[in-house]
Structure 1
Amino acid sequence: MPISFSADDILEIAQQIEQNGLNFYRAASNAAVGIEANKMLSNLAEWEVAHEKLIRDMRAVLTSDQKQPTVFDPDDEMALYLKAMASKVVFTSKMDPVEMLGSNPSLLEILNIALDRERDAVSFYKSIKEIVPVSMGKDKIEAILLEEVSHVDIITKLLAEI
């Protein structure tokens, strides 16, 4: 059965991903040993807060017309891809951050998990950027995408230092 997406549907998925990322980084910050590691993970958590707020604000100003399906997906390809990205690959509510981290995770383990998830977030935002019209905040999705890319860069540099 074909599925159509609205901007609101897509932004709702993105908002949940940011909330789940926040939960992960807060748990990682609590598990991290050392002030510098804790501060860095807390900063990543705060960025997720800002992203979630931006997406929430984008959703709040959508008109009723903009909440109507605008992306027709006759073969369910985009629907399946976005749902897979949101439910299994990127930070998800089904993944308990404490379980993801295990007991007494090293900073190296935390950063490797975070790097994988941030890369997946980049892929997700690249995908939705292509289907969100300019009039519905494509530039804001691009800004979040660039932030996620900067997270990948920061984490990659931190891993190189370890």
Structure 2
Amino acid sequence: MMYCFNAAEMFQLAIEIKENGKAFYQDAQAKISDPEVKQQLAALAQEEQAHIEKIKRLKAESIWGDAPSTFDPENELEAYVKATADQHVYKTCGALTGKLSEIQDVGDVLKLALQFEKDTVIFFLSMQEAICEGKDREVLDLLVKDELARVKRLSMQIQRMGYCRL
């Protein structure tokens, strides 16, 4: 492979994805009239913001540095990272507008959020081949573990609230 993402680029990709998620939840809030659903969407947007702050802290504290993995005098890499994040599940060709129309209760919101988190895990795992060898792969593992923890928490919340019936 001629090019690979490094740790700093992976952190930035994760931040972009989470920013998109936060924006989606905020936009969804404006389109939903049910107060309980609006409250859950607001909570999910706040969680995304907290996750963004956590990723930024990890990036700032990281031992991996933030030098680009290749010479990039015209900042094309930044545009590429943003475009990659924008193709993630939160911005999939208007399909989410249809999903919003299907939301009837908090359970539907939580299930949608759970699907987003699962899709994020899949997205990060699919990036494994595009990650530089060595310590940079540890960043990807860290991001995947963090997303898996969110999947587990949302799954438990759905079950606890009785929205998952076997």
In the aligned structure 2, how far is the partner of 1:101 from the partner of 1:120?
Answer: 17
Cα separation, 2, equivalents of 1:152 and 1:5 = 31
Q: How does 1:1-162 map to 2 (within 5 A)?
A: 2-63=2-63, 65=65, 67=67, 69=69, 86-92=85-91, 100-101=96-97, 105-108=101-104, 111=109, 114-126=113-125, 132-134=136-138, 138-139=141-142, 142-151=145-154, 154=157, 160=164
Label 1:115 to 1:137 Cα distance change in 2 as closer, same or farther (>3 A).
closer
- How does the TM-score come out when normalised to structure 1? 0.63
The 2-side partners of 1:37 and 1:6 are apart by 38
Given residue 107 of structure 1, which amino acid in structure 2 is its aligned partner?
I
Q: Distance in 2 between matches of 1:24 and 1:88?
A: 13
SS in 1 for 2:4: strand
**d(CA) in 2 for partners of 1:87, 1:117:** 13
1:78 aligned partner: none
Determine the C-alpha separation between the residues in 2 that align with 1:155 and 1:84: 32
**Higher alpha-carbon deviation: 151-160 or 15-24:** 151-160
Distance 1:32 1:158 in 2: 22
Instruction: Tell me: CA distance 1:153–1:113, structure 2 relative to 1, closer, same or farther (3 Å).
Output: same
8 Å Cα contact 1:25-1:45 kept in structure 2? yes
CA contact (8 A) 1:20 1:91 kept: yes
TM (norm. structure 2) is 0.62
Unaligned runs of 5+ residues in structure 2 are 70-80
Q: Distance in 2 between matches of 1:22 and 1:90?
A: 12
Is 33-42 or 7-16 further displaced after alignment? Answer: 33-42
Report the RMSD for the aligned CA atoms in angstroms. 4.1
